[in-house]
Amino acid sequence: MAGKRDYYEVLEVDRNTSEEDIKRAYRRLAIQYHPDRNPGDTRAEEKFKELSEAYAVLSDDEKRRVYDQYGHAGLAGNGGFPGGFDFSGSFTDLFSDLFQDFFGVGRPGGRSRGIRGEDLRYRMRITFEEAVFGTEQQIHYPHLVECDRCLGDGLEPGHQPATCSVCSGRGEVRFQQAFFTMSRTCPNCGGSGRIIENPCSKCRADGRVREEKALTVKVPKGVDNGTRLRLRGEGDAGLQGGPPGDLFVVLEVEEHPFFIREGYDIVCETPLRMETAALGGTVEIPTLDGPVELKVPAGTQPGQVFKFKGKGIPRLHGSGRGDLFIQAAVRIPQKLSRRQREILKEFEGHEKSGAYRDVLEYNRKMEKYSKQG
């Protein structure tokens, strides 16, 4: 065992490093020293082998436990590979997983699985009230369905496919990667292991045809503009027996002429006559549940806000509703009768005289304080 470096040192990690971090470290270093990226560099190849050996031990709970307790000597005799373990079997699967993303390599094991159908997107326009209280709406959209002539097989009825000559029907081709046997999807047949020489006259060997579908979409209460509803399995049909994709319905909510939405609350303005704001009174205001009466206290100021609890938007993923906030918008008349002008002039005079008395009183107080100082 002389001359072997510590496996943790090889992977540049600590002894208490998690399995996930060990895998992350190995991937980073394996990409750096992989022979395909360093052709002719024997040092890189040796480094890559050393990394592979270290990872094969530290990624296995049992081997890591033995190594932590006894070091390299504890692994001796546990396999035919120099260093005390065997690289065959599951280790090949390990590299198939690790390099699938980096080099386009797939795991050995036969033909490729079915291909999932494409997801589809549909924009549906609804009113403000429909977004608040929910609705049902029928939509029509085109999607790919299984061909009813060939039943998704892609073959003209009565014919059989030919075996792929490149992969001999396995759906994969194998090749040597350093000292590992790797495999990837056959480029000639796409992993199906067969060649269609007599394609279906209806779907042209695709196994799917385009049709328009009618579907009723249930919109829950409380949705907002941009909400996405996912309808599983309502997208395009899959290929080679794969599952269908999903349909995503994106909601576009129309603006309301009176209400403005803020989260689950609603804000709006209510016009108040000047005399109502000054003297107080009762006005009728609209809500999502119908008109209600608002008691306006005397002396209400422009912009003053009144709250109606539970009159807002139903919560999409919870119970209860938001609130309704009413903002007073005091309206000043633009045209006045002679009598109205006289009344306002008289009111203005009273206000001025009262204000003048307030100023005189303030000045007297300030003069008193200055003398005391």
pLDDT tens readout for residues 266-282:
999 999 988 898 899 99
Structural domain total, the chain: 3
Positions in the chain short of pLDDT 50: 78-97, 99-112, 355
CA distance 240 to 75: 45
Whether 16 and 82 map to the same domain: the answer is yes
Q: Given this model, what pLDDT does residue 254 score?
A: 96
CA distance 330 to 333: 10
Whether 306 and 244 map to the same domain: the answer is no
This prediction has a pTM of: 0.59
Residues 105, 174 contacting (CB under 8 angstroms): no
Could you tell me the CATH number of the domain that includes residue 282?
Answer: 2.60.260.20
The answer to whether residue 187 is domain-embedded is no
The answer to whether residue 162 is domain-embedded is no
Whether 143 and 245 map to the same domain: the answer is yes
The answer to whether residue 230 is domain-embedded is yes
Whether 235 and 294 map to the same domain: the answer is no
CA distance 305 to 261: 16
In a 10 Å sphere around its CB, with 0-12 CB exposed, 13-18 middle and 19+ buried, how is residue 269 labelled? Answer: middle
Whether 222 and 286 map to the same domain: the answer is no
Whether 228 and 286 map to the same domain: the answer is no
In terms of residue numbers, what domain contains 264?
260-331
Residue 225 amino acid letter: N
Which pairs with CB-CB distance under 8 Å and at least 24 residues apart come from 104-108?
104/184, 105/177, 105/182, 105/183, 105/184, 106/172, 106/183, 106/184, 106/185, 107/183, 108/172, 108/174, 108/181, 108/182, 108/183
The answer to whether residue 326 is domain-embedded is yes
The answer to whether residue 172 is domain-embedded is no
CA distance 369 to 373: 6
Residue 143 amino acid letter: H
Whether 152 and 233 map to the same domain: the answer is yes
pLDDT tens readout for residues 205-218:
889 999 999 999 99
Q: Given this model, what pLDDT does residue 174 score?
A: 81
Whether 20 and 126 map to the same domain: the answer is no
Whether 44 and 132 map to the same domain: the answer is no
Whether 145 and 219 map to the same domain: the answer is yes
The answer to whether residue 18 is domain-embedded is yes
Q: What angle do CA 176, 177, 183 make, to 5 degrees?
A: 65
Residue 337 amino acid letter: S
